Amino acid sequence: MTPTIALDGMGKAHGFLRLPHSRDDSAWGHVMIPICVIANGQGPTVLLTGGNHGDEYEGPIALHDLAYRLEAADVAGRVIILPQMNTPAFLAARRTSPIDGGNMNRAFPGDPRGTVTQKIAAYLNDAILPMADAVLDFHSGGKTLDFLPFAASHVLSDPMQDAACATAARAFGAPFTVKMLEIDDTGMFDGAVERAGKTFVTTELGGAGMARAETVAIAKRGVRNLLTHLGVLRGAVELRESRLLDMPDADCFTFAETNGLYEALIDLGAPLRAGQALARIWPVEATGKPPLDLVAKRDGLLVARHAPGLIKSGDCAAVVAVDLGLA
């Protein structure tokens, strides 16, 4: 992997991370991953990433917008912007790479001698991440999930780092803020960043393979809020009301155990009681068959749902989060 711009230069530069990829349609071809570096004066380095999964759009929109508009004079420190981290997946509008099937968020710490996705992960892990003090990695639900818009941090064993991440997630200012307990972060960018001791914020801002005006506005405001909170941008964080959500255990998740037609019974953000039906699955082989109701296992509100009209056995049907009140 070769950057086409100096990553440690001052001022504003647009370029690429260029990865050799010899293939049928381009013998000496490369994968070109857009990168923008904006540096000025003294301050922290913040790495901003979108397109970790290629079918999630709020992050790429907010980060292309930021890379276009932000000038060096606006910055104290350094901002490194990768709007479409897994560029092959992003250009194919897919969660995973069409080159090697690689899921970027299961590829860390990567392998410089591995597949294209593993090589991208390795370069981010070994060359880019050590430069950063803080990382914001944008996610949304992709084509198959839709989320209430939230920023999140993980429960971490180091209390200082845990507090720094939680405070940064709150400063993002999404309508919801989540503290997540990650049981298995094998291969995830999140874990790689956190184990390196950095401040880390992630998001889920919508989904269904598209981006809404409301969620794009949350992403644009959130990234500027975070940069302001970290001291890279001047001014005050635009504080918004945010509700704190918790997803404490496996009872939050409902998975389909049959195929069929997905009928939502409530919408995102609606309150639920344990035992309440949240969706039903209609068999589609014939008329006259009863539907199967999917039932919430705990009180809370609907924070995510299956997005496509058809659902398959094993798909995540719904996620219920506990509402802890105003953050």
- Of the pair 45, 96, the CB lying nearest Ca ion is at 96
Closest to Ca ion by CB, 53 or 305: 53
| Residue 103 vs 125, nearer CB to Ca ion | 103
Instruction: Report in angstroms how near the CB of residue 53 gets to Ca ion at its nearest.
Output: 4
Rounded to 5°, angle at Cα 47 from 206 and 111 = 95
Q: C-beta of 207: minimal distance to Ca ion in Å? A: 8
19: nearest Cα among 80, 79, 102, 87 = 87
- End-to-end Cα spacing for the chain: 42
Q: Return the number of the residue (104 or 232) whose C-beta is nearest Ca ion.
A: 104
**Minimum gap (Å) between residue 150 Cβ and Ca ion:** 13
Q: Residue 99 belongs to what H/E stretch? A: none
Q: How far is the CB of 298 from Ca ion (least distance, A)?
A: 24
The minimum distance between CB 247 and Ca ion, in angstroms, equals 15
- In whole angstroms, the minimum distance from the beta carbon of 139 to Ca ion comes to 4
Whether the bond into 3 is cis, omega within 30 of 0: no
Cβ proximity to Ca ion, 3 vs 50, nearer residue:
50
Sequence length of the chain is 327
| C-beta of 53 vs 154, nearer to Ca ion | 53
Of 53 and 243, nearer to Ca ion (C-beta) is: 53
Separation between Cα atoms, residue 190 and residue 58, nearest integer Å? 18
CB atoms within 10 A of CB 28: 8
Q: How far apart are CA 302 and CA 273, in angstroms?
A: 10
Question: In whole angstroms, what is the distance from residue 231 CA to residue 278 CA?
Answer: 43
Residues 6+ apart with CB under 8 A from 154: 165, 179, 180, 181, 182, 185, 190, 194, 200
Please state at what angle helix 213-229 crosses helix 159-172, rounded to 10 degrees.
130
CB atoms within 10 A of CB 68: 10
Min dist CB 222 to Ca ion, Å, is: 16
Contacts to Ca ion by CB under 5 A = 53, 139
